[in-house]
Structure 1
Amino acid sequence: MVKTRRLGNIFAADGKTVTLALDGFGFSATTAGVDHAARTVPAMAEHGLDNVLVTYGQAKNFAEYFTNVGMCLRVDVTTGVFDASVPDNMPAFDVTDALKVGADGVVIMNFPGAHNERATNAFAAMLAQQCDEWNVPFMCETLPYGYPVTTPESADPEVVAVASRFSEELGADIIKTRFAGTDDDRKIVENCTVPVIALGGPKSDHETYFAFVQHVIECGAKGVAVGRNITQDPKPLAVVSALNALVHENATAKDAMAIYESLDS
């Protein structure tokens, strides 16, 4: 019951989530707009934001801004902060650290098929057991063959589906992963029994991104975890309002664009 309550902070009553990914400083040298976005979270919550992904430092230093949304703590970090490809990651925190900062869940990356999969699988399995012990939801960001899309297989929905189910079998309560934007994306959701949310991907124009979000929701995704398409937008509240309509109201990309254009911030 405690884990269910915490899941209810990450997902809205309809079982879907609009999540803001603020955790880029854990694996990237440059993450423009994140601090401003963190301070804007209370206003974003009024426009439909459900949850945030944060680093340990953010959970401490921006705590006052995260009181009205769910919060998942990233408990791994990159081993090469100046290498944008995230060549490897490492455990940095655990569930007890998440509880100390009031988090509702934890999140890590897992790289099935990559050179370091033995280590990421081991951390995922350990973390899943710890999460069950403390009744804390475990979100596993599953990226086959590694962080970047370097080969067609890295983004192949059939490969992503297998990797996602593998992470579920390690104990994940939520899967966060990449979608290709094709009809085969349904295979990812259909191959899992836990909620799957789509990661945000690269910064793109509004029409393209809203169409992508409409697509993943139609494929059965239970939401999106969005970083740069919110944090680097001149009207972040408008983006959140549009995403809220897409995720929670099954709006079309055209509807979302109209919402975005109707708001000033």
Structure 2
Amino acid sequence: MSIDAPFALRRMYRIFRDDGRSLIVAMDHGSGLDVYPALADPARVLDAVISGGADAILMTPGLLKRFASRLKSAGVILRVDGGNTQLGENSGAYRLLYSVEEALQWGADAVACMGFPGSPLEQDTLENLAALVGQCHAWGVPVMAEMVPGGFSNFHLHTPENIRLAVRIGIELGADFVKTAYTGSQESFRSVIEHSYRPVLVLGGGKVDDARAFFTMVRDALDAGAAGVAVGRNIWGHEHPQAMVAALHRLIHEKATPDEAMDILAKGSSR
């Protein structure tokens, strides 16, 4: 793991294991996307995913301040940008809503913000990322950039070439690790990894019904060089989130196959 400041390195080890990989559960959706029934009881979800083997949780200040006691040894990545919700049809500007000092006061190990190159929010989000990097690195706090070309609604811009560029932009602006979309194949995602000199994690995207296909995507991304995943709806949206995390944990940290992950999911779901 390559990072410069000693304190930032220590915080990175709260998120990434010794193998350089991480299983991050994303629970930051409520600050702008929707009210998800599966997240109605955050304490239950946190207990399940941490018991299953989650390495870190991507969360909002509200969740962190209310449920810090549930986090145990899991790392905390705090979402610090926003101000843009589905009620406003995602038309408003993205802003940094919280400071690095607040993130540290609340116990965060790292912070996260969006980067949408190629979208109408390109300037806002990239300026936010650059400013956040400057603030955080002065305090030894790692930054995760969620880099999505065109934003989440412009799927036609989610090409392998654009994803590769978006990831490179994020790390050139100083991000310590990046969350992005999978490109669809090992070959194209390997090119993303080869052009990145920081860890790259794959986002989970919308809820899918085919767990085997999801596990296959994760296995392919890992084999192409991904440092792990940052997944929300495909974990806590599953009927058995603890078993889902346990299966992903084996994929990421123990090189399990999709078939082995399915067996773990089936065993965990039967309890």
Q: How does 1:89-168 map to 2 (within 5 A)?
A: 89-151=94-156, 154-168=157-171
1:158 maps to a residue whose letter is E
1:157 maps to a residue whose letter is P
Establish whether residue 199 from structure 1 lines up as the match of residue 199 from structure 2: no
Q: Which moved more, 1:90-99 or 1:133-142?
A: 90-99
Q: Which moved more, 1:47-56 or 1:76-85?
A: 76-85
Establish whether residue 259 from structure 1 lines up as the match of residue 264 from structure 2: yes
Asked whether the equivalents of residues 193 and 200 of structure 2 are also in contact (C-alpha less than 8 Å), the reply is yes
The gaps in structure 2 that reach 5 residues or longer are: 1-5
Q: What per-residue deviation string (whole Å, max 9, x for no partner) do you get for residues 184-209 of structure 1?
A: 11111111100000001111121111
| CA distance in structure 1 between the partners assigned to 2:221 and 2:8 by the alignment | 26
Q: Which residue of 2 aligns with 1:184?
A: 188
3-state DSSP class of the match of 1:10? Answer: coil
3-state DSSP class of the match of 1:139? Answer: strand
| CA distance in structure 2 between the partners assigned to 1:113 and 1:67 by the alignment | 39
Q: Which residue of 2 aligns with 1:213?
A: 218
Q: How many residues align?
A: 263
Q: What per-residue deviation string (whole Å, max 9, x for no partner) do you get for residues 214-239 of structure 1?
A: 11111110000110111111111110
1:122 maps to a residue whose letter is E
Give the deviation of 1:181 after TM superposition: 2.0
Asked whether the equivalents of residues 44 and 240 of structure 1 are also in contact (C-alpha less than 8 Å), the reply is yes
3-state DSSP class of the match of 1:62? Answer: helix
Asked whether the equivalents of residues 28 and 84 of structure 1 are also in contact (C-alpha less than 8 Å), the reply is no
Asked whether the equivalents of residues 80 and 88 of structure 1 are also in contact (C-alpha less than 8 Å), the reply is no
Give the deviation of 1:90 after TM superposition: 2.0
When residues 65 and 192 of structure 1 are mapped into structure 2, their CA distance, relative to the original with a 3 A threshold, is: same
3-state DSSP class of the match of 1:52? Answer: strand
Q: Which moved more, 1:49-58 or 1:178-187?
A: 178-187
Decide which of 225, 231, 241 is 1:226's aligned counterpart. 231
When residues 252 and 144 of structure 1 are mapped into structure 2, their CA distance, relative to the original with a 3 A threshold, is: same
CA RMSD of aligned residues (A): 1.6
When residues 193 and 102 of structure 1 are mapped into structure 2, their CA distance, relative to the original with a 3 A threshold, is: same
Q: Which runs of 4+ in 1 moved over 6 A?
A: none
Give the deviation of 1:78 after TM superposition: 4.0
Asked whether the equivalents of residues 181 and 215 of structure 1 are also in contact (C-alpha less than 8 Å), the reply is no
Asked whether the equivalents of residues 112 and 145 of structure 1 are also in contact (C-alpha less than 8 Å), the reply is yes
Using the size of structure 1 for normalisation, the TM-score is 0.94
Give the deviation of 1:24 after TM superposition: 0.1
Asked whether the equivalents of residues 48 and 241 of structure 2 are also in contact (C-alpha less than 8 Å), the reply is no
Using the size of structure 2 for normalisation, the TM-score is 0.92
Asked whether the equivalents of residues 85 and 147 of structure 1 are also in contact (C-alpha less than 8 Å), the reply is no
How high is the sequence identity, in percent, across the aligned residues? 36
The gaps in structure 1 that reach 5 residues or longer are: none
Decide which of 51, 54, 61 is 2:59's aligned counterpart. 54
